[in-house]
Structure 1
């Protein structure tokens, strides 16, 4: 019979002769209903509940159970575990609501692309500069068009947040008259905090823009903005010893204008980025496609 039903003899006899009873889950010892002070005096839970309600109604309204535990220990000399305070607060319905978890946007990895025209792929990154006279750093965030090499827009400041990155992106879209267009460029960035934040992701969603991030330790996938930052370092930042933020801001602004309007690039037919961008609108230029 065992062979017919496909059960081994050992399994059958084990179940028959050594049937194991289901384990009962221990609920632990019952709550004692009191706590002890450092002097060994017993304090009933009812009194502790009154103290908790007084603390919450007073200065401790914004406290959670962990801080209320500390208050009871300091003020009333109670020897208590925070777990018990949590249980008492839960019974009294005075637990503070937990913070809502922010929705995390799914990460989209950069993929290989073939770029044949402007406004198909923009790369963005942050560069640090140093102000010698004030002994502090400043930040330069730039958006570059991979095809025509233009710095479409940039942010210079003593800080650089996700909101700054989003505002700069909005200005760049308006400059290229793409804000209300259906076809928008893909934005490619690294995994800096400005670009991984929900603020930047939400703005990209609102702008109806696809944002992709390169894998860690692959700066070659963001090569065009990295190359620009090398030019910025060699031709501007390392040549100047800034004494103030105003001086640094002016020098970087002047360099950005020079780069876009006068600095020639061999990769765009020995033209300046702005000149190349304008010419391709009306002429058929013999420019190569870009694989990224």
Structure 2
């Protein structure tokens, strides 16, 4: 069972076993149970929430335009603060720009392989990406893997840090459940250019495709999903803890895959298309997409 699933089994009302003993039996560090994701002031968390919403509407806004958009006479903002928070959130203005830096050998870049390609079958192309998830008193990061042809979410992981480990875990989970794709597409973020991630992808013989620098439309399948997730779930519920967030995302993933019909899929669900079924009720899975989490550098 994933780490967050085990965390959900810890019962504070249990009189016979202490929290420490329950964590020991579930093979959990006690610090994970008491973890509270809060590093920024309430004012900065509120500002990060506004930055996130503005970035979804205007992904081409850089630091200068973001500052101008969010500044008010009552709360003037400076570029240094906006830049720091956007970096912490993993956000960058999206527009075509040259890449003049020379990558190190362990930060290998790959060409974009999907231009002009007809995507006609499941597991032909997957995409994976990371997004910032606001909470009532903190924030987390979500990594998900999506099948381009069906829009089916194959796996997902939560983390309180922008590390490579939880991205590798998400892709590994998808491969373990559904097999090896022909192509996997990512952006040029450090998590996906890391030696560990590249080694894993090459080890499976997967062709690694990367977005052009600053081109969100190159990874449009996952970008559209982020928008749906945030407007249909995250922004509607002010999740107070990582466990609440995990449960809420798990429920939304099931809804998105199994119930939410898409016009682009001829009013079928992603699950129905991925499984090759016309009747979305003909296929059921009891153990559907449990996901996992990483806390304090410990991966589930």
TM-score category (smaller protein): 0.5 to 0.7
Match of 2:101 in 1: none
1:174 is displaced (CA, Å) by 1.7
1:278 corresponds to which residue? 275
Which of 231, 248, 253 is matched with 1:251 structurally? 248
Kindly indicate whether the alpha-carbon contact (under 8 Å) linking 2:107 and 2:190 is maintained by their aligned counterparts in 1. no
Give 2:118's match in structure 1, choosing from 111, 114, 117.
114
Q: Secondary structure at the match of 1:279?
A: coil
Query: How far 1:137 moved relative to its partner?
Result: 1.3
Does structure 1 residue 211 correspond to structure 2 residue 176? Answer: no
Query: Hey, what does 1:131 align to over in structure 2?
Result: 135
Tell me the equivalent position of 2:148.
Answer: 146
Partners of 1:147 and 1:232 in 2: how far apart? 19
Whether contact under 8 Å (2:111, 2:210) holds in the other structure is: yes
Aligned to 1:221: 218
- Conservation of the 8 A alpha-carbon contact between 2:157 and 2:170: yes
Deviations along 1:13-55, one digit per CA (max 9) or x if unpaired, are xxxxxxxxxxxxxxxxxxxxxxxxxxxxxxxxxxxxxxxxxxx
> What 5-or-longer segments of structure 2 have no aligned partner?
1-103, 280-300
Q: What CA RMSD, in Å, does the superposition of the two structures yield over aligned residues?
A: 1.9
Q: In structure 2, do the counterparts of structure 1 residues 226 and 194 end up closer, same or farther at CA, with 3 Å as the change threshold?
A: same
Following the alignment from structure 1 to structure 2, what is the Cα–Cα distance between the partners of residues 152 and 259? 12
Counterpart CA distance in 2 for 1:264 and 1:160 is 32
The structure having more radius of gyration, on CA atoms, is 1
- The alpha-carbon deviation at position 250 of structure 1 amounts to 0.8
How far did residue 280 of structure 1 move? 5.1
1:208-228: per-residue Cα shift (whole Å, max 9, x none)? 211111111110111110000
Q: Distance in 2 between matches of 1:153 and 1:160?
A: 17
Instruction: Give me the whole-angstrom Cα distance separating, in 1, the residues matched to 2:228 and 2:149.
Output: 17
Matched, 1:242 2:239: yes
**Per chain length, whose mean CA-contact separation is higher, i.e. which structure has more relative contact order (CA < 8 Å, sep 6+)?**
2
Distance 1:280 1:161 in 2: 37
Q: Tell me the secondary structure at the aligned position of residue 114 of structure 1.
A: coil
Deviation track 1:114-133 (CA, whole Å, cap 9, x = no partner) reads 2111111111111111121x
The alignment's TM-score, normalised by the length of structure 1, stands at 0.56
For residues 281 and 149 of structure 1, the distance between their equivalents in structure 2, rounded to whole angstroms, comes to: 15
Query: How many angstroms apart in 2 are the aligned matches of 1:272 and 1:236?
Result: 18
TM-score after normalising by structure 2: 0.55
Partner of 1:36: none
| Equivalent residue runs for 1:159-170 within 5 Å | 159-170=161-172
After TM superposition, give the deviation of residue 281 of structure 1 in Å.
Answer: 9.5
CA contact (8 A) 2:150 2:270 kept: yes
Deviations 1:60-107 (A, max 9, x none): xxxxxxxxxxxxxxxxxxxxxxxxxxxxxxxxxxxxxxxxxx842632
Unmatched segments (≥5 aa) in structure 1:
1-101, 283-292
Contact residue 258 and residue 272 of structure 2 kept, 8 A: yes
Hey, what does 1:173 align to over in structure 2?
Answer: 175
Whether the 8 Å CA contact 1:144–1:224 is kept in 2: the answer is: yes
Does the CA contact (< 8 Å) of 1:110 and 1:214 recur in 2?
yes
Aligned to 1:75: none
